Amino acid sequence: MNLGIVSVWDERGAGYVSKLYDEYLSEHFDVFIYNRGYSKNKFPFDQRVYNARKVGSTKHMSIHKKEFKEWIDNNKIETILFNEQQSWEPIIWCKEWKIKIVAYIDYYTEETVPFHDAYDLLICNTKRHLKAFKSHKNVKYYPWGTDVETFTPKNNNNKVPVFLHSCGYSPTRKGTDSLIRAFKNIDLDYKLIIHTQVDLKKALPDEIPLIENLQKSGKMELVNKTIPAPGLYYLADYYVYPTKLEGIGLTIAESISSGMIPIIPNCPPMIEFLPKEHKYKIKVDRHVSRFDGYYWPQCIISEKHLEELINLAINDFPNKNLKSTLRKWAIKKLDFRKNFKNLESELKNLKFQKAERELIQKIKMYELNRPLTHKKILKLINKLYKFLYPIKYLFK
C-alpha cells in the first residue's frame, strides 16, 4: 500500500513527529512525504519527499489543490496521514477523491473537534488527546515514544550540575522567561544551557538584563542554531522545561531516553512520560486560555517552586541512580517501535467512510471564515502601503 504523510519536513517538533512515523511506517508501506513547509532547516530530501510550492493564500497551512492531486495520483496514494493540518480544504478534497485520511492529533479548538469526524482514523499519542476525542467513531491511542537508540546516555563527567533548556522557535510558550527569572536567584554552583532557534533577546525583551547578567556571570550559555538529533542532551544532567502548553512534549521523552532528569510542570501531557513518583514536578499556579482558542488551557507554573526544585536538583547532583532508573523506564515505556506496534495493521484494514453532507458544509463555512495569520496580515498591509503611498503625490 502507498501511504502519504502531509507535514512540514524540517528541524522542529512537527517535523520530528512525521520523521518518526515515517521511520516506523516505511517498514510496512511505501511512504511518500508532501512537505508543505518552507523552512531553511529542512531534513535531508530523497525521491520520496515532494517539496510543495509556496501558497499565495493568507490562510495558515493552505495547499495547492491541483498540485496536491497530482502528487496523490503520481504516487498512487491510498491513505494520507495529516500532521498538524489546520487548513480543512485538503480534508474535503480527499473525501471527494475517496482517499482514506488519518489525523495525528495535535491542534484543535472546541469548534473544530466535531470536524474531525471527517477523518477515517484519529491517532492520539497522549491520554489528554484521547479524552478530547473519545466520542469519535474510530480513535486509537498509541502512546508517544522516541528513538531510544538515537537518544542514549553519555558520560559527561560534569563537575557542577548542568541544566539544559530547549525553547526552539517558541520561548514564550515554553516558559523560558520563567526559567530565567528562577535561575537569577540561584546562588549555588551550576551551569545553564539554553538552546534556541530564535534570537532570545528579541523574543524576550523584558528579560534582556537578566539574560545579560547570567551570561556575564558565566553561568549561562546561549546556543542559537539548529542542531539535529540527538541534540545537546549529552552535555547536561537535568532537563528543565517549564512549558505552558504542549501537544505532546517531544523533548521530554528525548531527555529521559538520553539519561537526563526532567524538571517539568505537574500537568498533562508532560507528566504522562514519567513515573507517578517522579519528584521534580513543578507546581502549577493557575491555568489561562490561549489567544487562538486552543482546546486546552496553558499552565502557568510557580516560579518560586521551580526555584526550589532547581536548588534540590543541585543538592542531589549527580543523582546517578535516578538517571539510570529513568533510562530503564525509557527503554520499557518510551520506545516508539514498541508503542506504535500494530499501527500498520490498523492502517491496512482501514475503510474509507463517506462524510455527512452537513458536516462538510460546516467545515466549508469554517474554512471560509478562517482568519488570516498575523504575519500575513502585516505583509498585506505593508504591500498595500507601498502601493498607495506614491499615489498621494499624484493628487498634490
Per-residue pLDDT of the chain (396 residues; tens, 9 = 90+): 999 999 999 888 999 999 999 999 999 999 999 999 776 667 777 889 999 988 876 677 789 999 999 999 999 999 999 999 999 999 999 999 999 999 999 999 999 999 999 999 999 999 999 999 999 999 999 999 999 999 999 988 899 999 999 999 999 999 999 999 999 999 999 999 999 999 999 999 999 999 999 999 999 999 999 999 999 999 999 999 999 999 999 999 999 999 999 999 999 999 999 999 999 999 999 999 999 999 999 999 999 999 999 999 999 999 999 999 999 999 999 999 999 999 999 999 999 999 999 999 999 999 988 876 555 555 555 556 556 555 544 444
Give me the sign of the Cα torsion angle 281, 282, 287, 292: negative
Q: Which pLDDT value is given to residue 37?
A: 79
Q: What is the pLDDT of residues 310-324, one digit of tens each?
A: 999 999 999 999 999
194 contacts: CB under 8 Å, gap ≥ 6: 165, 166, 167, 176, 179, 200, 220, 221, 222, 223
Give the pairing type, strands 261-265 and 281-282: parallel
Are 127 and 135 in contact by the 8 Å Cβ rule? The answer is: no
Q: Which pLDDT value is given to residue 301?
A: 98
Of 53, 57, 58, nearest in space to 37 by CA: 53
C-alpha cell at 379: 505583509
Domains 2-142+340-385 and 162-335 share a fold: yes
Give the pairing type, strands 30-35 and 49-51: parallel
C-alpha cell at 186: 540561584
C-alpha cell at 247: 501537544
Domain ranges of the chain: 2-142+340-385, 162-335
Q: Which pLDDT value is given to residue 395?
A: 47
C-alpha cell at 246: 504542549
Q: Under CATH, to which class is 2-142+340-385 assigned?
A: alpha beta
Q: What is the pLDDT of residues 272-300, one digit of tens each?
A: 999 999 999 999 999 999 999 999 999 99
Calpha distance 265→243 (Å, rounded): 7
Q: What is the pLDDT of residues 187-218, one digit of tens each?
A: 999 999 999 999 999 999 999 999 999 999 99
C-alpha cell at 289: 486560555
Q: Under CATH, to which class is 162-335 assigned?
A: alpha beta
Q: Which pLDDT value is given to residue 396?
A: 46
Q: Which pLDDT value is given to residue 155?
A: 86
Question: 3-class DSSP state for residue 92?
Answer: helix
CB atoms within 10 A of CB 72: 20
Q: Which pLDDT value is given to residue 11?
A: 86
Of 124, 114, 79, 71, nearest in space to 100 by CA: 79
Q: Which pLDDT value is given to residue 392?
A: 47
